[in-house]
A = this chain, B = another copy of it.
Amino acid sequence: MDPASLDAADPLASYRDRFVGADSDLVYFDGNSLGRPLAATRDTLAGFVGGPWGERLIRGWDEEWFDLPLTVGDDLGRLVLGAAPGQVAVGDSTTVLLYKAMRAAVAARPGRTEIVLDRDNFPTDRYVADGVARECGLTLRWIDVDPAAGVTADQVAEVVGEQTALVTLSHVAYRSAWIADAPAITRIAHAAGALVLWDLSHSGGSVPLELDAWGADLAVGCTYKYLNGGPGAPAYVYVAERHLDTLTQPIQGWMGAADPFLMGPTYTPTDGVRRFLSGTPPVLGMLPLRDMLTLLDEVGIQAVRDKSVGLTSYAIDLADQELAPLGVGVASPRDPGRRGGHVTLTHPAMREVVAALWQQDVIPDYRDPGGLRVGLSPLSTSYAEVECGVHAVRQALDEVS
């Protein structure tokens, strides 16, 4: 099918115009690294300076901001994460929240000696786990994975046991886009008495999530990819309700304390997921995310997912037709049910190809070894853009080969 017909048949096509720069000639295949801003966010931010910040000033904390990490968290839970209210808080970076969540999990499983993770997990996840393991006297138990796929439930079953404190995995793999079988892996980990921490950075806003239904314990994710929160936007943490009375994290700050404005002599963690907060929450940084959640409420995450599958399937079809003859492989699952919102194309020359494409305003990203990532943010990407980008890859490959 030609891209014009696909765009004409796309029920979400018109949403593309809501994003800044959608009318430009740029081919943007990196919305899975940094999403485009919504045009509405320009007014949101300017209005915030002139209004709530500039006029309400300190009163804004009582009126709205103090609860913002939890109200935005509840919206995220409802629209994106499959989480009932009271389990999600927004704040800190993904890395800091991974640290808090891992420390909390390890403390909740005293005597257990291992953290299970895979070698293809995102670097910051591996680095945090390495640090937490070292400081808490645990060992990392590594799973090797097929780089074009990801961790399977069988692989997890082979390594978990009564020594396992925590299994920490990415729900969608950052290179291959493999979707882990979260319900099965969670059951396996729980059967061994371990907790599970999901990194949702590459799925939140593109793949529907069902944290409550999975029985997940903990989850963390970023908001600057498919949630269009802007560079370095705050992350979120999910803590299942059944753990909220017992899990505690080590960065004891006033915003996670019972009655923070009492400013009492000792720290007592407050009730609920707020105890995973530490310092003053980044109000400004949450506003673009809130705009995107408003849009997702309008569109619905399943419609986003449907378009995402359409875009990635089309990208793979084009790659098979036009790039496979040049030696390009598809290092992402071909089964759309196991594939997230991006597609990785491999070729030994991809580093040079990506550098050449950037010079022409075609913007994928490069991930070792030899992977060109085609990130297809569903609401801001058209089928025509996919075709244009794949043609550019072909041309660049011709030129660098």
Using Cβ atoms and an 8 Å threshold, which residues of chain B touch A53?
A: 20, 34, 37, 230-231
A30 to B59: give the CA distance in the assembly, Å.
Answer: 10
A184 to B319: give the CA distance in the assembly, Å.
Answer: 68
**Within 8 Å of chain B (Cβ to Cβ): is A126?**
yes
Q: Are B255 and A95 in contact (CB under 8 A)?
A: yes
Q: Are A254 and B28 in contact (CB under 8 A)?
A: no
Using Cβ atoms and an 8 Å threshold, which residues of chain B touch A43?
A: 46
Instruction: Knowing A57-B34, A126-B265, A363-B58 are in contact, say whether A222-B280 is a contact too (CB < 8 A).
Output: yes
Instruction: Knowing A21-B55, A232-B285 are in contact, say whether A99-B130 is a contact too (CB < 8 A).
Output: no
Q: Tell me the residues in window 2-22 of chain A with beta carbons closer than 8 Å to chain B beta carbons.
A: 19-21
Q: Are B282 and A50 in contact (CB under 8 A)?
A: no
Q: Are B55 and A49 in contact (CB under 8 A)?
A: no
Instruction: Knowing A36-B57, A65-B232, A253-B128 are in contact, say whether A123-B263 is a contact too (CB < 8 A).
Output: yes
Using Cβ atoms and an 8 Å threshold, which residues of chain B touch A37?
A: 49, 53-54
Return A186 CB to nearest CB of chain B, in Å. 25
Q: Tell me the residues in window 358-389 of chain A with beta carbons closer than 8 Å to chain B beta carbons.
A: 358, 363, 365, 367-368
The answer, among B59, B96, B365, for a CB contact under 8 Å with A58, is B365
Tally of this chain's copies: 2
Using Cβ atoms and an 8 Å threshold, which residues of chain B touch A368?
A: 262-263
The answer, among B28, B41, B55, B131, for a CB contact under 8 Å with A251, is B131
Return A295 CB to nearest CB of chain B, in Å. 15
Instruction: Knowing A34-B57, A231-B61, A264-B123 are in contact, say whether A93-B49 is a contact too (CB < 8 A).
Output: no
Q: Are B42 and A46 in contact (CB under 8 A)?
A: yes
Using Cβ atoms and an 8 Å threshold, which residues of chain B touch A224?
A: 280
Q: Tell me the residues in window 173-203 of chain A with beta carbons closer than 8 Å to chain B beta carbons.
A: none
Using Cβ atoms and an 8 Å threshold, which residues of chain B touch A265?
A: 119, 126
**Within 8 Å of chain B (Cβ to Cβ): is A135?**
yes
A224 to B58: give the CA distance in the assembly, Å.
Answer: 11
Residue count of chain A within 8 Å CB distance of chain B? 81
Q: Are A282 and B232 in contact (CB under 8 A)?
A: yes
The proximity string for A residues 67-110 relative to B, scoring 1 for CB distances below 8 Å and 0 otherwise, is 00000000000000000000000011111100100000000000
A252 to B125: give the CA distance in the assembly, Å.
Answer: 9
Using Cβ atoms and an 8 Å threshold, which residues of chain B touch A365?
A: 58
The 3 closest A-B pairs by CB, nearest first: A93-B279, A95-B279, A20-B54
Known: A45-B48, A123-B257. 17 other contacts (CB 8 A): A20-B50, A34-B53, A34-B61, A37-B53, A45-B45, A59-B358, A61-B231, A93-B279, A94-B280, A124-B253, A124-B279, A127-B253, A128-B253, A131-B250, A131-B267, A234-B282, A282-B282
Using a CB–CB cutoff of 8 Å, the interface residues on chain A facing chain B are 19-21, 24, 26, 28, 30, 33-34, 36-37, 41-43, 45-46, 48-50, 53-55, 57-61, 65, 91-96, 99, 119, 122-124, 126-128, 130-131, 135, 222, 224, 230-235, 250-255, 257, 260, 262-267, 278-285, 288, 358, 363, 365, 367-368
Q: List 15 A-B contacts (CB under 8 A).
A: A20-B53, A26-B57, A34-B60, A34-B61, A60-B231, A92-B93, A93-B280, A95-B251, A124-B254, A124-B279, A131-B251, A131-B252, A222-B280, A263-B368, A285-B285
